[in-house]
A and B are shown apart, each in its own frame.
Chain A
Amino acid sequence: MASERPLLDASPRPPPPPPPPASSLLPPPQQEPPLRADRLAFSLDVPDPFRREDHPQQQQPDASRSVVVGDPSAAAAAAAGFAGNAIRTAKYSVLTFLPRNLFEQFRRLSYVYFLAITVLNQLPQVAVFGRGASVLPLAFVLFVTAVKDAYEDFRRHRSDRQENNRLARVLAAFSAPGGGEFPPKKWKHIRVGDVVRVASSETLPADMVLLATSDPSGVAHVQTVNLDGETNLKTRYAKQETQVRFSQDGSVGGVLHCERPNRNIYGFQANLEIDGKRVSLGPSNIVLRGCELKNTTWAIGVVVYAGKETKVMLNSSGAPSKRSRLETQLNRETVILSIMLIGMCTTASVLAGIWILNHRGDLELTQFFREKDYTTGKNYNYYGMGMQIFITFLMAVIVYQVIIPISLYISMELVRLGQAYFMGADKDLYDESSRSKFQCRALNINEDLGQIKYVFSDKTGTLTENKMEFQCASIRGVDYCSGKDSCGYSVVVDDLLWTPKMAVRTDPQLLKLLRSGGTDEETKLALEFFLALAACNTIVPLVLDTRDSKQKLIDYQGESPDEQALVYAAASYGIVLVERTSGYVVIDVLGDRQRFDILGLHEFDSDRKRMSVIVGCPNKTVKLYVKGADSSLFGITKSSLDLDIVRATEAHLHKYSSLGLRTLVVGMRELSLPEFEEWQLAYENASTAVLGRGNLLRSVAANIENNIHILGATGIEDKLQDGVPEAIESLRQADIKVWILTGDKQETAISIGYSCKLLTNDMTQIVINSNSKESCKRSLEEALATAKKLRITSSTGTLSPELASESAGITLALIIDGNSLVYILETELQEELFKVARECSVVLCCRVAPLQKAGIVALIKNRTDDMTLAIGDGANDVSMIQMADVGVGISGQEGRQAVMASDFAMGQFRFLVPLLLVHGHWNYQRMSYMILYNFYKNATFVLVLFWYVLYTAFTLTTAITEWSSLLYTVLYTSLPTIVVGILDKDLSKETLLAYPKLYGSGQRDEKYNVNLFVLNMLEALWQSLVIFYIPYFAYRQSTIDMSSLGDLWALAPVIVVNMLLAMDIFRWNWIVHAFVWGTIAATTICLFVIDSIWVLPGYGCPRKLNAFMSLHAMVPHFVIKAFSEHFIPSDIQIAREIEKSENVNLVNRSEVSMTRLDDPRR
């Protein structure tokens, strides 16, 4: 994720508002993100953690709710309409199932078409099929879907019931028997205002404000794994006022005013009126439904949001549905087929009209027509020519409807299900380290994976592991970077040895300096530096038992991996954070345990890009420790002092970031008593305010954070994941453009670019970082000119091969930062950027905000037909993941929000290679073939029906029995295509990985396009002619009856289309054999069975097996196939031959397994 994620704090925050253009002051910064979101057309249903919830308009008094603590009935009386705690995720009940499920199903257009045809068939004048037979296919499909839905809903009901009937301990009213105690109560009966007691490891039944905990300082730890997937513990606090009151006499009380239910997991504002005082409450005072209480014996809270109004329920909306490109293209072909259908129906009905016109005088006496019913003397079923044409048209629609393969949609879903199963089961996509399987979250875009042209990747956590490791420190202008060996440092507490869980490589010189115990300035400042690292954070040390009873392990839990790394580093140097409560921290400073009071904490926000704590030291001084981004901290240093140090530190920072390290600057200021008192007053006022507290706190922080002494800087390494350079190389060979979008600094981004081999030394870099629109425009124009110049040299170079290869080596890399993007995205400069970016083979965007990421994806997506894929792991990637055609989430360190929003989720970036090059290729190839084949096979059948109509006086008689024509799509031909769609592989995994360029077939739409569609239709035309006319000429002027010939015409297409499929199958394993031959056998058996039922007209027909004579139809296909495969071979064909002749598996094994070739760090 990125880096936008400020180095200090992992929880997603609102993006920094772009610096307002100098001229305009109008839009207040806070409103910017939602506005931008709307312009980018995000679905509003999507949980958007970036959207600020603290808009002024949302804080109006009437928009809040009041909760009387411990008195649910009063609360309910005061404001009706609080939701109860029962939840309901199930869609249907027994009564509503049928109508609602049918309604849901018929929202699909194809089903409506199905239904319309069936209804049409029920009209007596138009009835082509018998009633039963015509309803059957629709009924079958509806039934299968309904059973599936019912089963899913049943499971939801069951889990709802379990959830609702769980027990929680709720404070009984004092008046009631057992008052003051906590008898168990079912979750569904809990109401807003109830006071609930939760024990350790219990799940919270509703969103509650903490009142008291077992910890005297009111701390409670919760695990939010069910909510956002983060496994680390988060600290929540009960307010001292309620904590004290409860511990005194076990009573609770007060009235709580809080905002309306909303879906912002990270925001909460309220105040509590208790004992005549107003206490402010924030996000750190609320615990949410679904979390688990950990490391805290008990906690007591008052329910503020229940049931469907809890934040977890408000956030549980499914991923937005996307449509695959193949499906969109398929619709175009469906339109063509509809036109064909109308054409055929019109032809049939017009010819029928002409026939009637020619025979108008004869109709009464003609034995096979006989217009009149003489018992009534009226015409029977004849309404004049016009009406007759119309009825014929409708009947033709019913007879020929199969040409639009409705069953294809069902087949496609089954195939995707199978493909998803195999992708999930692939051990190459299984992440050993996190034990996470590949997940197919969106089931309808599998085949898009085979057509990707752009990959937009986040950096932190996606390319890198997001396991931070402290590497370098620069203290007062001295660089300590030579860390070699890691020596653990332990502290002794109560005769027990406490050891930090992780040791960091330390610099011996620095260690010596610290241990020397000197009192000179240098040692003091080094100590201050590490004290700042240990104190200025939100890390909670957890003490874990080890097998050795003498030893304990300190595990630093926190929301930011950067902070963890810093605290571990401080610990390794001997400054060990031992304990943290809401009021103080205990730090073991080189063996001496000291208590530091935390007087105030200014949380990180992305405007300030820093955080600070006010610490009361043991020696009664008050200090402010700050840490934050360099740009932010150098702005608030005491400018007169430290000039040399600032300069040296800047040089070190530059060095660190060019090594690819994440940098952070640490500063300090001693506060005088008046300064402190002034601050304290402002801080208390701000933190109890209900309205605009965030802004007030920010301004308090800004007031105090100045005149800072620079203590030093840190460099934290974020290691590249395994196989990233190799994976990126493979993707680029496959002509996939990889763009990196990161929040990191430009230098860091470039160095990561080098280490993952995205950037190479022979590339020309175009760097754009501008601060105004004009300069942006200029840079873009220059870049475009450079690109043109390069292109001209390379194109003239093609005259001589040597020059061509030389100039082809010069490629462009565009590096652009978020500041410039502010002036480019959403303005007319976008077009320029797009042109430049297309010329470049590598694009690196640094310092970008989450919505800018989405904007960049949109830049490509809206202007080209190219498929885009976004991959990321953090909450700030959500918008990008949802914007791209395919969104991939990395289930990594930073929670599961990216995964929740993604279409596919996996454990490692390098899995992208097998996912795209292997599974994407297969899925695309299989699905394309299946769609084309389904069009072809249905068209063949319908055309056979059509030719027969020419010999029935255009009256749409079908020689094929209605059962056979209905079973044709369902049974006779569908199973092999589904099996082939799931199992067939044109090339082996090894070959596809060894030759990434083979991926190009999907990018170029080679397997599914209009030409192939037309070819398939021509094939269908030819084969239908053969299938129809060979029996026609063989049996014309003979005694053959309709049923016998009908059987021939039913069996022949089945044989022919299955033989064609057999010819095109790449890989014959036993399953494919069984289904292809089994289907032909089953069809034959079916026809014999149908004909042995004497109710049906075909009873006893012989001669079916003559249908095999239609195999003549296969000759052209075979000729074309043999010719094109040999004389105009595709890359895939060549690769298949290579695969067969050589043993690719052995030759390229080393390349395939993508083991790390070298240390990719530098």
Chain B
Amino acid sequence: MGGDESYSKFTQQELPACKPILTPKWVVSVFFLVGIIFVPVGVVSLLAARDVVEIVDRYDDACVPANMTDNKLAYIQNPNISKDCTRTLTITEDMKQPIFVYYQLDNFYQNHRRYVKSRNDGQLRDAAKANQTSACEPEKTTADGKPIVPCGLIAWSLFNDTYSFTRGNENLTVDKKDISWKSDREHKFGKNVYPSNFQNGLLKGGGTLDPAIPLSEQEDLIVWMRTAALPTFRKLYGRIYVDLKKNDTITVRLSNNYNTYNFGGKKKLVLSTATWLGGKNDFLGFAYVIVGGLCFFLAFAFTLLYFIKPRKLGDHNYLSWNRHPAGR
């Protein structure tokens, strides 16, 4: 213990501090401020979401031949039945390019614990680690023990439906370049890693890969392997750099290869424009508008309450022992 000067404001817990108190003025202004910020933000996002044109077409049921609707599993498992299918879409609003082509799967748990772990990032990145297949069970090696590249359930279940679009006689080219994340292509999938022993097992889970193309250029695989967060998800298939007019009729030729009939999953094709905000989802906009509106309401409600039942701040008479003077 030195002299008085050694007792700083810190040790006496007397540091200069701000002591906010929720006075009526503060409460009402906070509600107003939040309302003033939230409502416009909400309105803008709602407008943006409205601008997005989205065409969704579910084709998994429609593409099953009429005679096989009772046994879809047999249809999809039989390699001799042609999986080609043609769908016709009518454009509801004008769509500005680029138009994004997505496929959407419902009820497909890409976040299932067994599934999400079943990959080996080292193997994907580095050709020297081709033998590194830990965590890839049950799709690790071929029956004779050769490592599968890329191993694991995720790669094994690669989505393999394909789509091509025509408007009248005009072929709408789907640009499949640059559909995956640049960071994935550059850092997670190796430029000199080539598929081997892939999809050679007894049970085929999905698409095959061209063993001559390195993984970093297999963009469909890269997209597929960035696992979706929720059981209903979209994945980018490609982009169409053509403006579409209202009432245009688009013919889609697709090959319906991927088996979702087994677990009741749905497959949808989605054409969508995009805005700065993302896709056609007005939930956020509504949330902001509603909360903002609520804040306006609360601002008024509190103003009213403060008028009906005012209380002088810091009035000694409100202290409990002054309100009930009987107690000692």
Question: In the complex the two chains form, is A1094's CB within 8 Å of B15's CB?
Answer: no
Cβ-based interface call for B66 (8 A): no
Looking at the assembled complex, report how far the CB atom of A1046 sits from the nearest CB atom of chain B, in whole angstroms: 7
A1039 touches B102 (CB 8 A): yes
Which residues on B sit within 8 Å (CB–CB) of A1030? 284, 287
Given A368-B110, A1100-B184: A425 touches B12 (CB 8 Å cut-off): yes
For residue A1123, which residues in chain B have a CB less than 8 angstroms away from its CB?
Answer: 302, 305
B279 touches A1038 (CB 8 A): yes
Contact, CB under 8 Å: A1121 / B263: no
Report whether A798 and B184 are in contact in the complex, using a CB–CB cutoff of 8 Å. no
A951 contacts B111, C-beta separation under 8 Å:
yes
A372 to B139 CA separation, bound complex (whole angstroms): 9
B229 interface neighbour in A369, A1042, A1112, Cβ under 8 Å: A1042
At the interface, yes or no: A1069 with Cβ under 8 Å from chain B? Answer: yes
A1094 to B181, CA, bound (A): 13
Which A residues are within 8 Å of any B CB, using their own CB?
Answer: 359, 362, 364-370, 372-375, 380-381, 422, 425-427, 430, 435, 437, 798, 801, 804-805, 808, 811, 841, 951-953, 955-957, 959, 983, 985, 989, 995, 997, 1000, 1030, 1032-1042, 1044-1046, 1066-1072, 1094-1095, 1097, 1099-1100, 1109, 1112, 1115, 1118-1119, 1121-1123, 1125-1127, 1129, 1131, 1134-1142
Q: How far is the CA of A983 from the CA of B283 in the complex (A)?
A: 41
* B: number of interface residues (CB 8 Å): 95
Distance, CA A1036 to CA B229, complexed state (A): 9
Cβ–Cβ contact B156 & A430, under 8 A: no
Residues of B within 8 A of A808 (CB): 326-328
Contact digits for B263-283, partner A, Cβ 8 Å, 1 yes 0 no: 100000000000000110101
Q: Does B172 contact A (CB under 8 A)?
A: no
The complex places the Cα of A926 from the Cα of B244 at a distance, in Å, of 64
Which segment, of B89-97, B209-217, B231-239, faces chain A?
B231-239
Once A427-B12, A1122-B22, A1137-B21 are accepted as A-B contacts, the answer to whether A997 and B284 lie under 8 Å apart by CB is no
Indicate if B177 sits at the interface (CB-CB under 8 A).
no
Interfacial chain A residues near B11, Cβ < 8 Å = 422, 425-426
Question: If A380-B138, A1126-B306 touch, does A951 touch B230 (CB 8 Å cutoff)?
Answer: yes
User: CA–CA, A117 to B18, complex, Å?
Assistant: 43
B183, closest chain A residue (CB): A1100
Residues of A within 8 A of B13 (CB): 422, 426, 983, 985, 989
For A1068, the chain B residues whose CB sits under 8 A away are 17-20
Interface residues of B in 311-328 (CB under 8 A from A): 311, 313-316, 318-321, 325-328
Closest Cβ of chain A: how far from B255's Cβ, in Å?
Answer: 18
Report the separation of the CA atoms of residues A1148 and B47 in the bound assembly, to the nearest whole angstrom. Answer: 60
Q: How far is the CA of A1123 from the CA of B284 in the complex (A)?
A: 28
- Chain B nearest CB from A204 CB (Å) reads 30
- The answer to whether B114 and A955 touch across the interface, beta carbons within 8 angstroms, is yes
State whether A1131 and B320 are in contact (beta carbons under 8 Å apart), knowing that A808-B326, A1036-B230, A1122-B22 are contacts in the complex: yes
A1066–B314 CA distance with the chains assembled, in angstroms: 16
One of B139, B234, B314 near A1039 (C-beta < 8 A): B234
- Decide yes or no whether B85 CB sits under 8 A from chain A: no
CA distance A1041 to B225 in the complex (A): 10
Known contacts: A368-B112, A951-B111. The answer to whether A1137 contacts B314 by CB under 8 A is: yes
- Interchain Cβ contacts within 8 Å, total number: 252
Could you tell me the distance in whole angstroms from the C-beta of A914 to the nearest C-beta in chain B? 12
Known interface pairs A367-B205, A367-B206; A997-B319 also in contact (CB < 8 Å): yes
Residue ID in chain B nearest A365 by CB atoms: B262
Closest to A1049 in B: B229
A381 to B114, alpha carbons, bound, how many Å?
A: 9
Q: Which of B161-169, B246-254, B290-298 contacts A (4 or more CB under 8 A)?
A: B290-298
**With contacts A952-B109, A957-B112 known, is A804 near B326, CB below 8 A?**
yes
* B44 on the A face (CB < 8 A): no
Residues of chain B with a CB closer than 8 A to A372's CB: 138, 203
CB distance from A927 to the nearest CB of B (A): 15
For B309, the closest partner residue in chain A by CB is A1127
Whether A1041 lies near B295 (C-beta < 8 A) is: no
The answer to whether A427 and B278 touch (CB under 8 A), given A951-B111, A1042-B116, is no
Within 8 A of A (CB), among B106-158: 108-116, 121, 125, 137-143, 145, 153, 156-157
Contact A1034–B281 (Cβ < 8 Å): yes
| Chain B residues whose CB sits within 8 angstroms of the CB of A1122 once the complex forms | 22, 27, 302
Question: Do residues B229 and A1131 form an inter-chain contact, with CB atoms below 8 A?
Answer: no
A1099 and B188 contact, Cβ closer than 8 Å, known pairs A953-B112, A1127-B311: yes
- Which of B19, B153, B318, B326: most chain A Cβ within 10 A? B19
Q: Tell whether, in the assembled complex, residue B157 and residue A1045 are in contact, meaning their CB atoms are under 8 Å apart.
A: no
Residues of chain B lying within 8 A (CB to CB) of residue A1072:
17
A1066 touches B19 (CB 8 A): yes
B259 within 8 A of A: yes
Query: In the complex, what's the smallest C-beta–C-beta distance from B247 to chain A, in angstroms?
Result: 25
- Taking CB atoms and an 8 Å cut-off, the chain B residues in 2-23 that contact chain A are 4, 7, 11-13, 15-22
Smallest Cβ distance from A973 to chain B, in angstroms? 22
Whether A1037 and B232, one on each chain, are in contact in the complex, defined by CB atoms closer than 8 angstroms, is: yes
In the complex, besides A1038-B233, A1038-B234, 11 extra interface pairs with C-beta distance below 8 angstroms are A362-B263, A365-B262, A368-B153, A375-B201, A952-B231, A1039-B234, A1067-B19, A1097-B121, A1131-B319, A1134-B316, A1140-B313
